[in-house]
Amino acid sequence: MATLGDLHYWAKDCAEAATVREFQTTTWENLPGKLMFVVSELVEFEEAFEYLRAATTQARVDELLINMNEELADAAIRILSTMHDLFGSTWSRGRVENRRRLARVPAYTCDELLRPIRKHLVGALEFWRDDARSDVMIHLELALLNTFRAGDALGADMIEEIANKQAKNKARPPKHGRKQNLG
């Protein structure tokens, strides 16, 4: 299993897997659309979080926590793939690797977990409009950092979650989940 120091490995792996599965490579021009895919993963996390509040059995709680971890992994995979496509291995892993880990506390709200991720996705988009590539890179790094922190709060090992989700993704047919003719 990869270690946290392997984030550049995972970024490359995520980008290559997306290419093999016939997904469009991230370019500077299509970055806004790629950021929306990250947002869609966060929406799926929110949906599972809402169901969690109504869960009445431990089995259902466990199922939803697995789903929430997978959605965070999907968001991280999309961010990692985007960062690799745009910046190769020039981005800094240090923010994520040296992060202060959030305590696993059940009292976090969904908004508390996701607001910092959304904030930096919006920041990346705003700097994209200004063609400020280094600032986009910083905001994507911070979005990734906060995705890992949300995983920490849920007790998830995000590298393990990414590895597991990548294995599932690689076993799927090309363009799994995509509607036809969307590119």
Q: What is the pLDDT of residues 24-79, one digit of tens each?
A: 889 999 999 999 999 999 999 999 999 988 899 999 999 999 999 999 999 999 99
What pTM does this model have?
0.88
Using CA atoms of 89, 92, 95, 96 in order, give the dihedral in degrees to the nearest 10: 10
| Domain coordinates in residue numbering, the chain | 4-171
Closest CA to 65 of 153, 2, 164: 153
What confidence category does residue 106 fall into, taking pLDDT thresholds of 50, 70 and 90? Answer: low
pLDDT value for 27: 93
